[in-house]
Every structure is written in structure tokens, then in C-alpha cells.
């Protein structure tokens, strides 16, 4: 009891009521300590409650952010998948273009054709109708002479 600040009770000899009054211990320091402990306990409980609220808000925010990130990741994955499909389509079209270009005439072949066309000069060719017309005209002239 001395540890709590209460002085030890005087020792009584052989009887309870021998003319001595019972000594009452001074409990005021003990009640002050209990009051201090009670206040400290309330402060700790309030701190714990506040920490619990902060933790709940933090957890809720994390869950909300997790949902948002999950949605965004799904959207990004879907976009990437669409882009891959588009890239594959573009590759196929490029391959078709390459195949068509391989079957097209090359520059050297076109130059050879150009030389022959210039040599023959098809612009000066005469159509069958024109030849018939020229022959008629010549025959008509011959008849007139």
C-alpha cells in the first residue's frame, strides 16, 4: 500500500476497541491518481477511435481507388486488344498490297514498252474506216479524171 501513497495503518495491540480510534488512510492522492488514469484512458480511447476512423476512411479510399484502377486496367486491356486487331488487319492489307505490287510491271519493263511504242508510233496508225475512206476518195478521183 505504501507504493500507492497510502501510509501503513498503525499496529493495534490485542483488541479492536481499546480506546483507539481506527485510523483512516488518506486516499486523496489515490483518487487523484485514479482520476489521472481515467483521463489518460479517455484520451487514449479517443485517439484509438480517431485512428480507427482514419483507418476506415483510408481503407474505403483504397477500395474505391482499387475499383477505379481495375476498371481502367480492363479498359486499357480492351483498347490494347482492339489495337492488336487493327494492327493485324493493317499487316494483312500491306501483305496484299505487296503481292499486287509484285505482279505489277516493273520500271524496266515499262521503259521497254515505251521504246517500242515510240518506235512504232501508233498515233500515226490508220483505222480500217479511215483506209476505206481514203481508198474511196482515191477511186472517186480516178473516176473523175
pLDDT tens-digit readout, 66-109: 999 999 999 999 999 999 999 999 999 999 999 999 999 889 99
CA distance 55 to 72: 25
Q: Is residue 111 one of the residues assigned to a domain?
A: yes
Q: Is the model's pLDDT at 47 over the cut of 60? A: yes
Q: Is residue 1 one of the residues assigned to a domain?
A: no
Q: Is residue 109 one of the residues assigned to a domain?
A: yes
Q: How many domains does the chain have?
A: 1
pLDDT tens-digit readout, 118-142: 888 877 777 888 889 999 999 998 8
What is the average pLDDT across 46-64?
98
Whole-number pLDDT of residue 77: 98
Whole-number pLDDT of residue 135: 92
Q: Is residue 60 one of the residues assigned to a domain?
A: yes
CA distance 114 to 107: 10
pLDDT tens-digit readout, 57-67: 999 999 999 99
Whole-number pLDDT of residue 78: 98
- Comparison of pLDDT for 72 and 22, the residue scoring more: 72
- Comparison of pLDDT for 5 and 50, the residue scoring more: 50
- CA dihedral (118, 122, 124, 128) in degrees, to 10, reads 170
For residue 26, what are the contacts with CB-CB under 8 A and spacing of at least 6? 6, 7
Q: Is residue 81 one of the residues assigned to a domain?
A: yes
Task: Give the domain extent around 81.
Answer: 26-139
- CA dihedral (69, 74, 76, 77) in degrees, to 10, reads 140
Question: Is the pTM value of this prediction over 0.85?
Answer: no
Phi, psi angle pair for 66, to nearest 5°: -60, -45
Whole-number pLDDT of residue 80: 98
Amino acid at each position: 500500500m505504501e507504493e500507492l501513497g497510502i501510509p501503513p495503518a498503525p499496529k493495534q495491540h490485542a483488541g479492536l476497541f481499546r480506546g483507539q480510534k481506527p485510523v483512516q488512510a488518506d486516499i486523496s492522492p489515490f483518487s487523484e491518481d485514479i482520476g489521472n488514469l481515467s483521463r489518460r484512458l479517455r484520451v487514449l480511447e479517443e485517439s484509438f477511435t480517431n485512428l480507427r476512423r482514419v483507418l476506415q476512411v483510408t481503407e474505403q479510399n483504397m477500395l474505391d481507388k482499387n475499383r477505379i484502377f481495375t476498371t481502367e486496367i480492363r479498359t486499357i486491356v480492351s483498347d490494347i486488344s482492339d489495337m492488336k486487331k487493327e494492327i493485324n488487319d493493317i499487316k494483312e492489307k500491306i501483305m496484299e498490297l505487296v503481292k499486287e505490287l509484285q505482279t505489277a510491271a516493273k520500271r524496266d519493263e515499262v521503259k521497254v514498252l515505251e521504246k517500242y511504242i515510240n518506235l512504232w508510233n501508233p498515233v500515226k496508225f490508220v483505222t480500217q474506216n479511215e483506209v476505206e475512206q481514203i481508198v474511196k476518195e482515191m477511186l472517186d478521183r480516178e473516176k473523175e479524171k
